[in-house]
Amino acid sequence: MDELFGMSIFAPLLLSIQLAFVTTVVLILVATPIAWWLSQTPSRFKPVTQAVVAMPIVLPPTVIGFYLLILLGPNGAIGSWWVQITGNALTFSFSGLVIASCVYSLPFAVQPLQSAFESLPRQTLEFAWTQGASKLDAFFAIAVPMSVRGFVGAAVLAFAHTLGEFGVVLMVGGNIPGETRVISIAIYDQVETLNYGAAHQMSLLLLVFAFVVLFGMFVINKRWSTR
Amino acid sequence: MTRTAGIATAATLTLKHALRRRNFQLSVDVQIPTTGITGLFGESGSGKTTLLRCIAGLEADLSHDSRPVHKRGVGYVFQEPQLFPHLDVRRNIEFGLRRSSAAKVDQHQVVEMLGLGDLLDRKPDGLSGGEAQRVAIAAVLLRSPHLVLMDEPLASLDQRRKDELLPYLDRLHDALSVPMIYVSHSIDEVSRLCDHLLLIDDGRIVASGELHEMLSRLDLRMLSGSNAGSVIEAKPWRYDRDYDLTQFNFSGGELSVPGLYDTSAGSVRLRIAAQDVSICLSRPDDTSILNVLVAEIDDIQTSGTSSALVRLVAGTDYLLALVTRRSIAHLDLKKGDQVFAQVKSVIVKR
């Protein structure tokens, strides 16, 4: 079952998981300061920032993919800089896919974190400050542990959303085996060439995997809430 | 200059804070003693909490103190205890201790004094409101702050929990060497716990002074009517088992109070509300009221309303009596008259 028509069905799945994992790690690091700022700021730039962060939810993946293709391409602002440093192009590479996925899944990481941070009682943080904790100290010692569920929610959503993406990946990454051919692309590929058997197997694999991940999350969530 | 909380000069501490909001203006410049508890008394909306928040650095006021909150060394006990839900009681009270360079408070003593020995391994969500507040107070004290701010720490508790927590606060008062500002809108709490009193109204300190002296003043609108009353120091000396009464001695005579009080203890503070004191010209023999004291009228303050506030001297202590203006006229009460004061009830600080 592993080898079908000379092609592994597991390689694209593994690549998808790898991409989703790296994206999730990067996104948590990027989204946390954004979400914290949004949750605490009285700034008038808050609505603008919120709108920008939320855009990937509304825009068709092709639009995001198109702009990213231009931006990350060898002549684009980020792409040319990347070529100078690494000698490789960002487009049609795994690194390019990670950047694209981060942009595409950003709102799914920011929003659970932001709502977790916003629900922190203000006075609890104030108490931590009066007890001698600097703002940064209080953030790591109090705000983060009190927002664990927000972090879990953000990680699961970012992971799942990256796993399920198609349009952006297709436009920015193309279809290079072992580099950018993630499972959704591979399935599309098999259907295009009428290899319904392989498409079935990969689809089923993804279906089961998605179910197990989500089911696991809800079980953990329930345990926590009844703790 | 704006040397705020934490910097003491010659046994007083200067609080200087100003803040302007759309419908509210705070302007405070007052000195408080560095020993004992200073009560901050005022109605809701008078600026009590805002002043505390300015002192702690939680509010951007117009003072020039630019130190961040965590470097001010001002402990803050909130009305609702703000414990960290993911830490057990032990780690909650050690949170500030670990972040304090000058820890000089004995942890065991504080834990003992606030009765936390059995709670140390519990999580905050398993504590009652009173227990949580005790933990919060311990956490604040262990940090060895220069000044402790308490913002109505009893207000969120029901009467039973209040009665449970008050004796702990009494103990703190007797053992504490750190100055404390205690905010309350209950004159009973303030007269029980405090040594010094600040009255705040509409963002301004309208009067400040030593507690007994402030309570004996007749000219303070905030301490009139049902808020009027005096405190006296009295020593319990005899318990009458048959009637379950304890007799207290003070400079002006004896007072009988229901219940058993430790007669081997030293002086305790009694509060007598002005509305519980009435005045007779001759010794009443046929009254149900136990406590009748010989007193002299020291001053009478009449207001535009039906009532008048009379200050009496019994021994070296002051008593206040809230009577009607009509009674003043009817009995022809004047300064210097010898009268008998009937005291209906007495609140004892245990």
Most B CBs within 10 Å: which of A123, A130, A135, A226, as the mutation test of the B interface?
A130
Task: Assess if residue A156 is contained within a domain.
Answer: yes
Q: How many structural domains compose chain A?
A: 1
B185-214 average pLDDT score:
92
Task: Assess if residue A195 is contained within a domain.
Answer: no
pLDDT in tens, B317-328: 999 999 999 999
Question: C-alpha angle with apex B149: B138 to B112, nearest 5 degrees?
Answer: 20
The parent domain of residue A27 ranges over: 8-181
pLDDT in tens, B1-28: 333 444 444 588 889 999 998 889 999 9
What residues of chain A, 105 to 134, have a C-beta less than 8 Å from chain B?
A: 121, 123-124, 126-134
Most A CBs within 10 Å: which of B4, B50, B67, B70, as the mutation test of the A interface?
B70
Terminal alpha carbon distance of chain B: 41
Residues of A whose CB is below 8 A from B76: 126-127, 130
pLDDT in tens, A18-64: 999 999 999 999 999 999 999 999 999 999 999 999 999 999 999 99
Using the 8-state DSSP alphabet, how is residue A3 labeled? Answer: E
Strand-strand pairing, B268-273 and B277-280: unpaired
Q: Is the pLDDT of residue B39 over 90?
A: yes
Establish if B231 touches chain A: CB-CB under 8 angstroms. Answer: no
A162-174 average pLDDT score:
90
Q: Is the pLDDT of residue B161 over 50?
A: yes
Residue of B nearest to A132 (CA): B70
Establish if B138 touches chain A: CB-CB under 8 angstroms. Answer: no
B201-211 average pLDDT score:
94
Task: Assess if residue A188 is contained within a domain.
Answer: no
User: Count of A–B CB contacts within 8 Å?
Assistant: 61
Average pLDDT score, chain B: 89
A181-186 average pLDDT score:
90
Task: Assess if residue A224 is contained within a domain.
Answer: no
Instruction: Identify the pLDDT of residue A126.
Output: 97
Residue of B nearest to A227 (CA): B125
Instruction: Identify the pLDDT of residue A46.
Output: 95
* Residue B350: pLDDT band with limits 50, 70, 90: low
Give the domains, in start order, of chain B with CATH numbers: 8-215 (3.40.50.300), 229-235+265-348 (2.40.50.100)
Instruction: Identify the pLDDT of residue A225.
Output: 63
Query: Cβ(A100)–Cβ(A180) under 8 Å?
Result: no
Instruction: Identify the pLDDT of residue A6.
Output: 45
Closest residue to A133, CB basis, from B58, B70, B86 = B70
Question: C-alpha angle with apex B247: B241 to B252, nearest 5 degrees?
Answer: 165
Q: Is the pLDDT of residue B300 over 90?
A: yes
Residues of A whose CB is below 8 A from B99: 131-133, 137
Establish if A48 touches chain B: CB-CB under 8 angstroms. Answer: no
The alpha carbon of residue A138 is apart from the nearest alpha carbon of chain B, in Å, by: 10
Closest residue to A129, CB basis, from B69, B84, B140 = B69
Q: Do B70 and A126 touch (CB under 8 A)?
A: no
Q: Do A142 and B84 touch (CB under 8 A)?
A: yes
**C-alpha torsion sign, points A49, A50, A56, A60:** negative
Q: Do A133 and B99 touch (CB under 8 A)?
A: yes
Q: What is the CATH number of the domain that holds A135?
A: 1.10.3720.10
Task: Assess if residue A89 is contained within a domain.
Answer: yes
Q: Is the pLDDT of residue B189 over 50?
A: yes
Q: Do B70 and A121 touch (CB under 8 A)?
A: no
Residue of A nearest to B143 (CA): A131
Residues in chain A: 227
* Residue B91: pLDDT band with limits 50, 70, 90: very high
Q: Is the pLDDT of residue B95 over 50?
A: yes
Q: Do B78 and A133 touch (CB under 8 A)?
A: no
Instruction: Identify the pLDDT of residue A219.
Output: 86
pLDDT in tens, B234-265: 999 999 999 999 999 999 999 999 999 988 88
Residues of A whose CB is below 8 A from B143: 131-132
pLDDT in tens, A106-155: 999 999 999 999 999 999 999 999 999 999 999 999 999 999 989 999 99
Instruction: Identify the pLDDT of residue A109.
Output: 97
Task: Assess if residue A42 is contained within a domain.
Answer: yes
Q: Do A129 and B68 touch (CB under 8 A)?
A: yes
Residues of B whose CB is below 8 A from A133: 70, 95, 99
Going by C-alpha positions, the residue among A15, A14, A13, A7 that lies closest to residue A173 is: A15
What residues of chain A, 140 to 169, have a C-beta less than 8 Å from chain B?
A: 141-142, 145-146
The alpha carbon of residue B70 is apart from the nearest alpha carbon of chain A, in Å, by: 4
Task: Assess if residue A186 is contained within a domain.
Answer: no
Q: Is the pLDDT of residue A226 over 70?
A: no
Task: Assess if residue A98 is contained within a domain.
Answer: yes
Instruction: Identify the pLDDT of residue B226.
Output: 86
